[in-house]
Structure 1
Amino acid sequence: MDGYVPSSFDSPHTSLTRVLTWLGAASILASLAFWGTIVFGLATKVYDQNDAADTFLVVGVVGALVFLFGGFFLVHLGRRDYKKYVKRTGRIH
């Protein structure tokens, strides 16, 4: 289509320019480090190679849950203007 310029990035209801959306996505990705800590804690507990296996497990589980659900919450907050726009206009895409 000649002259068509997609405007999803510069539209007033976009979630792409909201800081909360990006912080939420980064927090969800950062939770992966804690999932790795859980795996490490489980491996050290199974093979009895470290006395701190329980500490690794607790830190991993708490960190993973905080970062994961905190990230979901931040993404939800970052997309609230878009959800208001969809509700107001009835637009579906």
Structure 2
Amino acid sequence: MSKSLYVGNLPWSATESDVRNAFEAYGEVMSVKLIEDRETGRPRGFGFVEMDDQGALEAVQALDGTDFDGRNIKVNEAKPREPRPRW
């Protein structure tokens, strides 16, 4: 099984490779997705990391609130996406 983690307050300079390297110390990383603004293509400062269950638990405990390139990142288990109303 795997868990999806929310990673927030990332510096805009962070790359998927940077994030992957930080999380691989705690377990197998299946994917990293940093979210970009649809209109400008600029990073929005958050993303998602999918990794093995045990590694995810360890990563949350070890990385939540720690310094990542000058910013204190927020790491927790991602919540399911709320359905958005269609207009």
Question: More helix by proportion, 1 or 2?
Answer: 1
TM-score interval, normalised by the smaller of the two chains: under 0.3
Question: More strand by proportion, 1 or 2?
Answer: 2
Structure label with greater radius of gyration:
1
TM-score, with length taken from structure 1: 0.22
